[in-house]
Amino acid sequence: MKEEGSNICKVMIFASTDETNVFLYDTIEDTACFADCCFENIEEEKNIAKSLELTIRIGVI
């Protein structure tokens, strides 16, 4: 999901009953994401993040 040379400043995770979407931003400003990915569930997303050695914090707004 990460593009070469990009700087991830913000990650938004949206989980619905059907799927989990991850949006990557290269700024903290209110703007469009530069990359996104869809997973069948949050566990699939966590497993992929773990395999990429990323730490994901899940919060509820």
Element (H, E) at 45: helix 42-51
Instruction: Give residue 54's identity as a one-letter amino acid code.
Output: L
* pTM of the model as a whole: 0.63
Domain of 27, in residue numbers: 1-61
CA–CA distance, 22 with 42 (Å, rounded to integer): 10
Q: How many domains does the chain have?
A: 1
For 2-22, the pLDDT digits (tens) are 445 557 888 888 888 888 888
Q: How far apart are CA 34 and CA 3, in angstroms?
A: 9
Q: In the 8-state DSSP scheme, what is residue 27? A: S
pLDDT at 33: 92
The confidence band for 60, taking pLDDT boundaries of 50, 70 and 90, is: very low
- Residue in 60, 57, 18, 61 with CA at minimum distance from that of residue 41: 18
